Chains A and B, each alone.
Chain A
Amino acid sequence: DVKVTQSSRYLVKRTGEKVFLECVQDMDHENMFWYRQDPGLGLRLIYFSYDVKMKEKGDIPEGYSVSREKKERFSLILESASTNQTSMYLCASASGGANQPQHFGDGTRLSIL
């Protein structure tokens, strides 16, 4: 079974803080993704990575950056957290090639005060 592990289940931070969300997968997947999920808006793609040190912007990258130094780890960084970044953050991974489903971590519920 694919295992995608997110570092925190719940996190509370203050406005202006730098926030790191970590994600690790154990299936040697090439592709990793960060989403946020908000009521009524569904899952929205923030960034994704198809290889080590490679990254591409998703649909809502503003206010976020990512890092993929190792194949198994994909980090999401909020450079200066704001209250509108309060959300559920979901990491996913998928093997390479077309038509591959994504496997999700448990999610991190982030609150910015």
Chain B
Amino acid sequence: RKEVEQDPGPFNVPEGATVAFNCTYSNSASQSFFWYRQDCRKEPKLLMSVYSSGNEDGRFTAQLNRASQYISLLIRDSKLSDSATYLCVVNSNTGTASKLTFGTGTRLQVTL
């Protein structure tokens, strides 16, 4: 079983739609969680951290369910510019440095 699993998609949604991605992780000792966004042929960029109580940043909402070991990202009112690959990222602290494990990403395509 992969440490971090995501549905690769693609998710094709019309502009204005609400879309949700889930991600599951296998290490119950994982301590912190992030969503990164990666545009085609570009580097990953931090979208948002995921907090235990859930958190929101504008149109984006992230939630964590430790009991079921999954993380979600909800995007409301999708824009064309949201088209990208969204990477679920889990932090396992090695004691010497934070080691991130990346999912393979979920591709989102927002259309007119």
Contacts and interface: CB of A to CB of B under 8 A. Distances in A.
Mostly, the B contact residues are: strand
Contacts of A107: 42-43
B31 A98 contact: yes
Given A50-B97, A98-B91, A41 B43 contact: no
Q: For this complex, into which size category does the number of interface residues on chain B fall?
A: 20 to 34
Interface in A86-113: 90, 94, 96-107
Given A43-B44, A56-B94, A90-B44, A102 B100 contact: yes
B49 interface: yes
Contact of A43 (B45, B97, B102): B102
A98 B32 contact: yes
Q: Sorted from nearest, which 7 A-B pairs have the closest CB atoms?
A: A42-B104, A99-B32, A50-B97, A104-B43, A43-B102, A31-B97, A50-B96
Interface of A: 30-31, 33, 35, 40-43, 45, 48-50, 54, 56, 58, 90, 94, 96-107
26 contacts: A30-B97, A31-B98, A40-B104, A42-B102, A42-B104, A42-B105, A43-B102, A45-B99, A45-B100, A45-B101, A49-B97, A56-B97, A58-B99, A90-B44, A94-B97, A98-B91, A99-B32, A99-B93, A99-B98, A101-B46, A101-B49, A102-B100, A104-B45, A105-B43, A106-B42, A107-B42
